[in-house]
Amino acid sequence: MKEINTKYSMVQYFIEREKEIKPGLAFNGSTKDDFQKWHNKLKNKLIELLGEFPKQVPLNSKVIARADCGDHWREKIVIDTEEHFSVPAWLLLPKDLKPNEKRPVLLGLHGHRDGGKDHPAGVSISYSDRLAGISKPSVGQELVKEGYIVFCPDSRGFGELSEGEEGNPYPGKDKCDAHFIRGLILGINLITLNIWDLIKSIDYLETRPEVASDRIGSFGLSWGGTRSTYISAIDDRIKATVVSGYSTTTKHYAIDTANFCGSQFVPQMYCYADVGDIIGLSAPKPLLLQTGIDEECFSVESGIKCHEHVKKIYSAAGEPAKVRTDLFCGGHQYDIPEIIKFFKEYLLI
């Protein structure tokens, strides 16, 4: 009997369909005029695809706790970001802040970890353990030591914004995927809500007397790198950006390896732009891209390809020196010394 040519594989189906995709607004220019036209078109398309942001509501901000962390104060902040939702955050304040002094502030954005904001803020790491060398300081603790104010909010589904047994309201299912699908049913994009929470976080920080509102930066690892990318692309109040453990290509992490979750995506975005294009929307703002050579989540090759594309965008924008690519010895992690050097150059004025 002659063998029938069957095509039963959905995995192979998506691999073949990806080959048909040519992102329509991928950057392919070389001049400043090319850059400006591209930047305007892609940013407008991104805003269109994100969909409608929630309605503005009063922040109703509250400081509900304050802890002495040795070399800094840690405040627990809660803000309302929309009618049916509040976001908790840690605010790290250097102890050497003088009366009426204003300091640069950094959004510290956690990755895909259940502890959420606790990780960049170093909540589980005591001051005595840090002094004794028992525990290494978190990235947020290192940066507050350098004189920055650091604001670490939970993203939706993580930290205190997780629910249910072991932080998952959907036992046996990926909570990010469940939130994503529920949102689509209601015409809501999950990533849009998370970006909105960061916009409202910046609104809150601008009310703080200690904050220099013209010197706001962001840093994030993995899912935090995704959010750092998008808030920098959307909100011009971000003046310098660090993206760690997120430089890759859509083909690599979404099609070849399926290394993603429902929190990460803007529906239809790949029809118009790849990861490097969205990162490149930060141009001409200062940008640091970090990829570890032992990166466990994305291939180094896809990271380098993304880096090169972003550098091409910055060159066309006339600011090639404003983007730094850091290929370092390490895995899916921060290269903290380079982050310190980067923000010192661009925000500690």
Q: Which pLDDT score is estimated for 75?
A: 98
Q: Which pLDDT score is estimated for 134?
A: 43
C-alpha span between 291 and 247 (Å, rounded): 7
- Claim: this prediction has a pTM higher than 0.85: yes
Look up residue 255 and give its DSSP letter.
I
C-alpha span between 122 and 142 (Å, rounded): 9
Query: Is residue 75 domain-resident?
Result: yes
C-alpha span between 237 and 330 (Å, rounded): 31
Q: Which pLDDT score is estimated for 341?
A: 98
Structural contact between residues 244 and 226, judged by C-beta atoms closer than 8 angstroms:
no
Query: Is residue 30 domain-resident?
Result: no
Here the CATH number for the domain that contains residue 199 is: 3.40.50.1820
Question: 295 is written with which tokens?
Answer: 């990166």
Q: Which pLDDT score is estimated for 2?
A: 62
Query: Is residue 20 domain-resident?
Result: no
Query: Is residue 14 domain-resident?
Result: no
Look up residue 85 and give its DSSP letter.
E
C-alpha span between 290 and 142 (Å, rounded): 17
Query: Is residue 22 domain-resident?
Result: no
Q: Which pLDDT score is estimated for 168?
A: 81
Structural contact between residues 205 and 87, judged by C-beta atoms closer than 8 angstroms:
no
Single out the residue of 270, 276, 283, 230 nearest to residue 40, CA to CA.
283
C-alpha span between 161 and 247 (Å, rounded): 26
Question: 33 is written with which tokens?
Answer: 């005029």
Question: 170 is written with which tokens?
Answer: 């959907």
Structural contact between residues 175 and 162, judged by C-beta atoms closer than 8 angstroms:
yes
Q: Which pLDDT score is estimated for 309?
A: 99
Q: How far is CA 342 from CA 83, 107, 130, 290, 298, in A?
A: 37, 15, 24, 12, 23
Q: Which residues contact 99 (CB under 8 A, 6 or more apart)?
A: none
Q: How many domains does the chain have?
A: 1
Structural contact between residues 146 and 87, judged by C-beta atoms closer than 8 angstroms:
no
Q: Which pLDDT score is estimated for 131?
A: 54
Neighbours of 48 (CB within 10 A): 10
Give me the DSSP letters along 316-339: HTT-GGGEEEEEESSSSS--HHHH
Question: 241 is written with which tokens?
Answer: 């950006």
Q: Which residues contact 120 (CB under 8 A, 6 or more apart)?
A: 108, 109, 110, 138, 139, 140, 150, 152, 224
Longest distance between any two alpha carbons in the chain, whole Å:
87
Query: Is residue 97 domain-resident?
Result: yes
Query: Is residue 57 domain-resident?
Result: no
Within 13 Å, how many C-alpha atoms sit on residue 24's CB side? Answer: 8
Q: Provide the domain limits for residue 147.
A: 62-346
Query: Is residue 202 domain-resident?
Result: yes
Counting as low any pLDDT under 50, the low residues of the chain are: 134
Single out the residue of 77, 62, 67 nearest to residue 108, CA to CA.
77
- Tell me how far the alpha carbon of residue 6 is from its chain's centroid: 42
pLDDT, tens digit, 9 for 90 and up, residues 255-295: 998 888 999 999 999 999 999 999 999 999 999 999 999 99
